[in-house]
């Protein structure tokens, strides 16, 4: 065996421990967020196929009244919302992570909404939006009338 291989410094085992702890913490955060969201999720309402009958004109009333978009489980719900022109839409962060409401075309940017915070917007035109922190979160506001 050559002297060069023997003289090479061995890595400090403390650094290996630090790396293992940091990887564990990096994996634990998202797992805890998903677990908390699943525990807080309300029971699903029956769909039309399961016997739930929507009230006559309920969609038109909801569009005229505006609506609320919840941010939970790293998603916007509902993903698509139809409202009347001039209606107020409230974006409510019910998640454990901060989010934004950012229009793809510009013009709308809520800034960072920490958990428990809301952002209200009077809608004059429809737009597609996303969370700039979590770009896979997307949604759409459609305007009627």
Q: Give residue 51's pLDDT.
A: 42
- Tell me what pLDDT residue 77 has: 94
Q: Which residue would you say has higher pLDDT here, 46 or 99?
A: 99
| pLDDT tens for each residue of 132-141 | 999 999 999 9
> 């909801």: which residue's tokens?
62
Helices (H), 41-130: 58-65
The mean pLDDT of 22-29, rounded to a whole number, is 78
Rounded-to-10 torsion of CA 15, 17, 21, 26: 50
The CA–CA distances, whole Å, from 140 to 13, 31, 70, 72, 126 equal: 51, 28, 13, 16, 7
> pLDDT of 34-52, one tens digit each?
666 666 555 444 433 334 4
Distance set, CA 132 to CA 23, 42, 98, 113 (Å): 25, 26, 10, 11
Burial of residue 131 (CB within 10 Å: 0-12, 13-18, 19+) is buried
pLDDT band per the 50, 70, 90 thresholds, residue 76: very high
């Amino acid at each position: 065996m050559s002297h060069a291989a023997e003289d090479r410094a061995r890595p400090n085992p403390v650094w290996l421990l630090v790396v293992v702890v940091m990887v564990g913490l990096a994996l634990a955060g998202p797992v805890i967020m998903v677990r908390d969201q699943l525990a807080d999720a309300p029971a699903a309402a029956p769909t039309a196929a399961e016997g739930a009958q929507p009230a006559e004109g309920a969609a038109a009333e909801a569009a005229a009244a505006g609506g609320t978009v919840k941010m939970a489980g790293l998603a916007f719900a509902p993903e698509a919302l139809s409202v009347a022109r001039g209606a107020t839409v409230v974006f409510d962060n019910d998640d454990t992570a901060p989010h934004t409401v950012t229009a793809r075309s510009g013009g709308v940017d809520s800034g960072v909404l920490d958990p428990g915070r809301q952002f209200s917007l009077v809608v004059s035109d429809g737009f597609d939006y996303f969370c700039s922190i979590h770009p896979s979160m997307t949604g759409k506001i459609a305007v009627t009338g």
